[in-house]
Structure 1
């Protein structure tokens, strides 16, 4: 038994150390059930058995289910049900052993790993880095199907269990102890097994779970308790506000948790199995596992990173202490990267540094930071007005105003301050990197580093390759973005890159719906129901109509300079006239006092009454059509970016769309959205939208070849 090391001591206590061979973590792989059965069989055959300790030889305790196997489930049939039941069966047999069983948790015990702990009689965790417990299945479109829903509800009661079940956040040792999720905490991993054995010796009869004892009562009240009934009635409405009805897993978890209190234990466990079978085949589950597990693994594990030695910036300079520059300075300070924040005037540079102080003060107020950490952050930022302040630096990020002439002046002046092996990044959102690179003394060391506002919350960076950007510069930029704890999304150079192009379509389609006769409030509702973070009119106010107009005029000037037409090829025929008219009427967005919305002094807002002037039609647009128009427009533009080679991988298309633009997370990203619906189904609906609403939805059949080719390779 190489996966399960079985050791019995002189006191009759068996330690089972999980050490799944050939993998970095213990999982419910194909050897898990046979291995557990062998362990249980051996335990039952012992003549003198006083107790059992489950431990791990890995850095983590137990990682839970094999998501690759779950992703392959395509039918909620008897075979799937049997697979789920078999995986959880050993846990039920474990808690029926006639001796105490203790989980010695040395690291992360999440999902099936924590479900193993729940099947034990006692749970001890080491208060060390990386040690957490929890049931994160909901974040992958699933539910804890190895007894987690039923057992945690019995352990904590419905009220305390629901947040852990429906939100899936990992819980650190001391908090887990306070919540009742573990029973004891020790200071180191070396103390775990001795503490577990000591508990077994002190509690030889503690081998029957509370819920298997006669007269068991749920903490906080049984199913008929008035408070529990009130929670059961109110919880669906609370969940809907959070999920908008777009995520089936939280609702299914709530249903199973509540009903587990109304039926026998074994029946409740079977009902839980039926629930995970139903969820495993949903598009939302497939999307979450594909994007948020395997996709994130690919990014974090370096599968889309250029090969080569890892690089770390030791110093940096940020040019421009405006909103973006100040935000980047915060990100650097937070990651321990010393940075010079340069502006033309010291007052502006100091103000930029004060942004970090303001963010730190907010965290101090919420108990998430102390004054010492704030002082440490501020010490990392040096305001300056002279280039000499950052001579020899590893990294320069130009974050001046989005004006090509200004950037072309700043870049060559400051590049000479760069260290011999340093790289130079431009925080531009739409200007072509290859054109900006023409002003750089060494274009091979020049790259786009597009941060998103607000930088402290939007933890993603679009890395843009210019025509002459070297592979070494790309590798260094990729490592830098990960060094500061942000997600790198690599794209090739083209007007608007990826994120700005797709984001523009969302803004434009919102205005197109309004133009076609849909009430502005219904337009915003469609965005909400689609799963976007903010409606298209509200988000346009936040980014500002003035900025939209400036970007357009910048590209018109660039077209004249390059002698081309429509270099920024996004069809904005609905939005441009509305933006111009709004600005003429003094409505440039929230920063300018109002735009699509009126803003009151108390922080409330309401849609501006003058928006009806922009309705050129009186079409009865259904909510279904409005939702699809907002989503399909973005998905089509993402597909175009993939076909044009602007995007290099589907993983980056999906994660970039979700984290940078806010494409609905339940879809798994725009390309996964197409795959989830089915390529043919998506193509037919796009053709229908094009026929009824305009050529911006039109795609020829070859547009999907790249997806079909990759599907064939995967198969």
Structure 2
């Protein structure tokens, strides 16, 4: 066995130690499945074996889920557009193995140390007893819903039978994970033991319970906790409430949550042998849909590749940041200082006024205090906070090996700060500018060695937002790219790498969602229709609400600066005049309590009742699908333009940046995955129709037209043509 070591002790207890070769974390792939099959056969057939303990041989944890490269190969084997029937047998393999394990006739205990999620947790649920080492870093659960799937290794059937349908659905539908104590309280694990002792505790239990070889649901008279079945009022109420709540939360866009509800509803009253077949039927249906493969590719495979340095220059030596010069102690600068200090860096938090710098450090402390009891101790808080030094003298920056600037969005102000820093640190230090719109090549003119100047665009709030957009100026060199990406890895964020452009990728494309909402207001479209269409599309909030959140005034300033910078080359939009009118009226957004919404003190926000008076309502209103289409395709075409212009070099960066940067509908896998899925020819046809109806902002790129003609997609080149 390559992935499972099989040892039998003097008491006849077999220990199966999982250590999948070539993987930092144990995952389920073809070798593991074959080895587990062989191990179960031995446990069941050899009379000398009295029971078994399953454990991990890796320090990284117990086990994650399916090896998604193997899962992708399985989908590919089933064909370009696989049917559920073509996938069913392969997908049922895992379910069948876990069922064999729990019915092997011998007691099997699971010893969990560290992370145990997805298929790894389903393996644990198939064991007769679960022991978990007590650690604040240990997480257990079934998060598959977050990547477009649902538990397909028996989890949707066993978890409700252990903890009750209502509680199990809450965890599975949210992809919520358990900490050890919480898991024990809910009887998901049987015992929490001191860290490092789970294997011994599991072995002792197996030795003391040679006949504990039957799961509760296989015992006659078993009843699901809290009840189940069409005649149980509690179960009926749970399922009747779960469906509309799920439809509301997903806006009917996600397939996996509905399939999960169906699997639980149909399977919970069936014998386990039939229940797991029901689960696999629905799992195959979800897996066969492009939604799952798109989400897996972007939210897991490509995201992990980016975090592991897919875009990092490989010849550059590792360049970790030890002392960060953080210029600007506002919300953004203080947020960056927080994550840098948490990562172990010394941070000089610089501002023009000591009170501002100290206020920035107070923000760091406030954020850290909220984490007390959640992996943060008072000692660790004090240690982290001590790494942050407020300063107003540029001399305090001496010794810094990386600079990030987050001062006011003005070219002249940024240039002055840049020159002052170079006078202290010299041009060989890498300088990163956290700007959301100003071209990096222009800003780099203030640094005498532009090869060492790079854009490092964070999103607010820094502590929560996972993405960092790395922007390359025309002269940015490989050392700067490596330094920036190493810094992002240190603070455990997800990077994308883009080339220089006004607004770069994320701000430029996100802005179109806001602009299109404003354009529709100018056309007299019902603002409630606009907002609801945005949410139904799968965006976190409507375009008017997000405009308020980021500030109408900020959008107006960006537009004004671009108009001034570009002069006659600036292409005016109808939304420009609408934003200008809102700013003139003092409706700046949430920041001053009035924008497209009003924010009454102590009350709930609501759409501004004066919108119709200022922007008269049109007598004829479009249907919601037409509004959704405009909001979607205005973003898609801008993303496509970024690709055609070389702002984006890869579709992978485009999809990751869209979902994690501005919340683009996650169920699509990102704009490029979505365009591939619906078909480039279809995208071009819709854009042509929208261009005729609404103007050139929807005009397809020549690249899109060429791709439609050749059959190419963003993730797949054009098919080879046979020689004439």
Deviations 1:317-356 (CA, angstroms, capped at 9, x unpaired): 2222223222222222332322222222222222222222
Match of 1:279 in 2: 286
Q: 1:333 to 1:4 in 2, by over 3 A?
A: closer
Distance in 2, matches of 1:18 and 1:359, equals: 39
Deviations 1:140-177 (CA, angstroms, capped at 9, x unpaired): 21121121111111111112211222122333333322
Match of 2:504 in 1: 497
Q: Which has the higher mean CA deviation after the structures are superposed, 402-411 or 220-229?
A: 220-229
Match of 1:164 in 2: 171
The answer (yes or no) to whether the contact 1:497–1:646 under 8 Å persists in 2 is yes
Distance in 2, matches of 1:23 and 1:373, equals: 31
Deviations 1:573-598 (CA, angstroms, capped at 9, x unpaired): 12101011112222222223412112
Match of 2:269 in 1: 262
Match of 2:589 in 1: 589
SS, match of residue 602 in structure 2: coil
The answer (yes or no) to whether the contact 1:640–1:703 under 8 Å persists in 2 is no
Aligned pairs (5 A) from 1:156-305: 156-189=163-196, 191-223=197-229, 224-305=231-312
Deviations 1:388-439 (CA, angstroms, capped at 9, x unpaired): 1112311222211111121122211222222675211112111111111112
The alpha-carbon deviation at position 277 of structure 1 amounts to 0.8
The alpha-carbon deviation at position 601 of structure 1 amounts to 1.0
Q: 1:160 to 1:607 in 2, by over 3 A?
A: closer
SS, match of residue 64 in structure 1: coil
The alpha-carbon deviation at position 256 of structure 1 amounts to 1.7
The runs of 5 or more residues in structure 2 that have no matched partner are none
Match of 1:43 in 2: 43
Q: Does 1:354 align with 2:362?
A: yes
SS, match of residue 177 in structure 2: coil
Distance in 1, matches of 2:617 and 2:519, equals: 10
Q: Does 1:336 align with 2:344?
A: yes
Match of 1:138 in 2: 145
Match of 2:692 in 1: 691
Deviations 1:626-672 (CA, angstroms, capped at 9, x unpaired): 11111111111111111211112222111111111111111111111
Deviations 1:239-258 (CA, angstroms, capped at 9, x unpaired): 23322222121222122223
Q: 1:385 to 1:292 in 2, by over 3 A?
A: same
Distance in 1, matches of 2:394 and 2:340, equals: 19
Distance in 2, matches of 1:453 and 1:33, equals: 43
The answer (yes or no) to whether the contact 1:75–1:281 under 8 Å persists in 2 is yes
SS, match of residue 145 in structure 1: coil
Question: Match for 1:463 among 466, 470, 486?
Answer: 470
Question: Match for 1:565 among 559, 566, 569?
Answer: 569
Distance in 1, matches of 2:311 and 2:719, equals: 17
Match of 1:676 in 2: 677
Q: 1:346 to 1:35 in 2, by over 3 A?
A: closer
Q: 1:8 to 1:369 in 2, by over 3 A?
A: closer
The alpha-carbon deviation at position 40 of structure 1 amounts to 2.8
Distance in 1, matches of 2:377 and 2:138, equals: 23
The answer (yes or no) to whether the contact 1:516–1:619 under 8 Å persists in 2 is no
Distance in 2, matches of 1:165 and 1:407, equals: 48
Aligned pairs (5 A) from 1:17-36: 17-36=17-36
Q: 1:620 to 1:300 in 2, by over 3 A?
A: same
The alpha-carbon deviation at position 6 of structure 1 amounts to 2.6
The answer (yes or no) to whether the contact 2:427–2:447 under 8 Å persists in 1 is no
The answer (yes or no) to whether the contact 1:248–1:279 under 8 Å persists in 2 is yes
SS, match of residue 711 in structure 1: coil
Q: 1:95 to 1:663 in 2, by over 3 A?
A: same
Q: 1:62 to 1:565 in 2, by over 3 A?
A: same
Q: Does 1:322 align with 2:330?
A: yes
SS, match of residue 306 in structure 2: helix
The runs of 5 or more residues in structure 1 that have no matched partner are none
Distance in 2, matches of 1:438 and 1:701, equals: 33
Q: 1:701 to 1:594 in 2, by over 3 A?
A: same
Q: Does 1:480 align with 2:487?
A: yes
Q: 1:273 to 1:492 in 2, by over 3 A?
A: same
Distance in 1, matches of 2:122 and 2:359, equals: 50
Distance in 1, matches of 2:714 and 2:458, equals: 32
Q: Which has the higher mean CA deviation after the structures are superposed, 407-416 or 573-582?
A: 407-416
TM-score, normalization by structure 2: 0.92
Q: Does 1:626 align with 2:627?
A: yes
Distance in 2, matches of 1:335 and 1:436, equals: 28
Q: Which has the higher mean CA deviation after the structures are superposed, 473-482 or 616-625?
A: 616-625
Aligned length: 706
Q: 1:616 to 1:260 in 2, by over 3 A?
A: closer
Match of 2:16 in 1: 16
Q: Does 1:703 align with 2:704?
A: yes
Q: 1:409 to 1:3 in 2, by over 3 A?
A: closer
Distance in 1, matches of 2:399 and 2:619, equals: 62
Distance in 2, matches of 1:26 and 1:319, equals: 42
The alpha-carbon deviation at position 272 of structure 1 amounts to 0.4
Distance in 1, matches of 2:719 and 2:360, equals: 48
Q: Which has the higher mean CA deviation after the structures are superposed, 610-619 or 8-17?
A: 610-619
Q: Does 1:99 align with 2:100?
A: no
The answer (yes or no) to whether the contact 1:506–1:633 under 8 Å persists in 2 is yes
Question: Match for 2:530 among 503, 520, 523?
Answer: 523
The answer (yes or no) to whether the contact 2:672–2:714 under 8 Å persists in 1 is no
Deviations 1:434-461 (CA, angstroms, capped at 9, x unpaired): 1111121221211111122222222322
Deviations 1:221-260 (CA, angstroms, capped at 9, x unpaired): 3334433322122122322332222212122212222332
Match of 1:7 in 2: 7
The answer (yes or no) to whether the contact 2:303–2:494 under 8 Å persists in 1 is no
